[in-house]
Amino acid sequence: MNLERLDAYRWRLPRQGKMRVDGLIYASDRLMKVLRDEQALTQVANVAHLPGILRYSYGMPDIHWGYGFPIGGVAATDPDEGVISPGGVGYDINCGVRLLRSGLDRQEVEPELDRLVDALYRSIPTGVGSHRRDLRISRKEMDRVLRQGASWAVTQGFGENADLEVIEEGGRLPWADPVEVSERAKQRGSDQVGTLGSGNHFVEVQYVDEVYDARAAAALGLRQDQVTLTIHTGSRGLGYQVCDDFLRIMQNTSSRYGIELPDRQLCCAPLRSDEGRRYMAAMAAAANFAFCNRQVITHWARQCFEEVFGGNPQAGLDTVYDVCHNIAKFETHLIDGQEVKVCVHRKGATRAFPPGHPEVPAPYREVGQPVLIPGDMGRYSFVLVGTEKARLETFGSTCHGAGRLMSRTKARQKARGRSIIRELRDAGVVVKATGRATLVEEMPEAYKDVSEVVDTVHEAGISRKVARVRPIGVIKG
């Protein structure tokens, strides 16, 4: 792949063939050595063929191969001339991350860590097909969930209004329409609100082990040795079904609208078409389901902290922020000095709006939107904030995580004869998982070191480091 180096952390993939724009990849030298042999760079070039794509086809430093779009890919399209591609959102619609802060210190939590992890594991269903017997959503209520998102959960007693103030989009995409969500998707989601699922999803007890920006950390309510909790999950079977349904629909639309694509997995429809509008409405409904899911899990997690730490007033969990990683949304951005409405696809990427932006919650407006970057369960995760450079250069986007280094098959081969649970326990991390397979596939060495990814976006200026958190307890599917 012919790449031109722009500076220490940016690489240009020049237009060739029927590409409509260049590619722009963010990577350090070390990350680029891995990327050069990846199919993901070819996918960056493929995305550049989409009608109406604006400025660049982007690859973040955690980029790796995905369905159609690379995971870690960003593309903005013109609302009038452009398209929407389900592959640019992915199967796990609004897979995202929520960070909660407690008033407890690490020293107070560690003696009770086993009890806490056990309580979380009992309370939050995990694993493939996990479901709840105590919260089955009726058909009528499901439509409300799909319209209202996290606010539905709060009205049912699963949380507080204060939570909604610090969720991306307030925890609800208003253009959602449950009519466009198939009955099969609704059925799959009926008993999955408040469940974690499998794969790389987790609930993680952590502590702040390093603060890089004291002012921003204080604005986010974070301090050294403070215990936090991260929830990473999405729209479960409902979102998967929405994606699957519309991929089948759009396999035929591209040719019907005269759209030439280098990869069938990029199937798409004009944003102004009936198919495009229908997908956006169904995708938004699935995103609302995911917001609701993380809100309900937050409620169960709060109960677990109360159960383990009794009446300790410092044991409460406040939401710091909740971000989407797989989403497409209409946003206003600057292009050639003009404010323009665009549709931003972020697949394995995080919104990173700067200080002063009106969509940044008031408590954080002086420092910028919180950006939550989970790593692997054996090392660390990061909290960053958005920047003006991201707004101007990447449509307000940055990375979303460590990015896989090994396939799941390779990880299973690498783990033969090992006890990953014991290795993590020796490293100070208590883990409970539904089965060995998922734990092996998600072992720390299967992922890039997230610090390299975060350092890249920090040095490139598209987000800024605030704090690092280390895991001490994890539940997984």
* Lowest-confidence pick of 24-38, 232-246, 385-399: 24-38
pLDDT of residue 135: 81
pLDDT of residue 12: 98
Q: What is the mean pLDDT of residues 270-295?
A: 98
* Lowest-confidence pick of 95-99, 187-191, 323-327, 416-420: 416-420
Token couple for 185: 């998707």
pTM for this one? 0.96
pLDDT of residue 445: 81
Whether 15 and 21 have beta carbons less than 8 Å apart is answered as yes
Q: Which residues are catalytic?
A: 400
Q: For residue 133, what pLDDT band results from cuts at 50, 70 and 90?
A: low
Q: 433 pLDDT exceeds 90? A: no
Reported as a single tens digit per residue, the pLDDT across 328-358 is: 999 999 998 899 999 999 999 999 999 999 9
Whether 411 and 346 have beta carbons less than 8 Å apart is answered as no
Give the largest Cα separation in the chain, rounded: 65
DSSP letters for 41-96: HHHHHHHTTSTTEEEEEEEEEEEE--SSSPEEEEEEE-TTT-EE-GGGT-SSTT-E
pLDDT of residue 130: 66
Q: Which residue has the higher pLDDT, 54 or 437?
A: 54
pLDDT of residue 410: 83
Domains of the chain and any CATH numbers: 4-476 (3.90.1860.10)
Q: Which residue has the higher pLDDT, 403 or 153?
A: 153
pLDDT of residue 332: 97
CA gap 285, 251 in Å, rounded:
21
CA gap 240, 243 in Å, rounded:
5
Which amino acid appears at position 359 of this protein?
E
Q: For residue 125, what pLDDT band results from cuts at 50, 70 and 90?
A: confident
Give the E-state strand segments of 212-337 in sequence order. 226-233, 269-270, 318-324, 326-335
State the chain's mean pLDDT as an integer.
Answer: 94
pLDDT of residue 260: 93
- What per-residue string of b and e applies to 159-193 under the rule 16 or more CB within 10 Å gives b? beeebbebbbbbbbbeebbbebbeeebbebbbbbb
Reported as a single tens digit per residue, the pLDDT across 284-334 is: 999 999 999 999 999 999 999 999 998 788 999 999 999 999 999 999 999
Q: What is the mean pLDDT of residues 365-394?
A: 95
Segment (H or E) for 109: helix 106-109
Q: What is the mean pLDDT of residues 359-384?
A: 95
Q: What is the mean pLDDT of residues 257-264?
A: 95
Phi-psi region of 412 (alpha: psi -120 to 50; beta: other; left: phi over 0): alpha
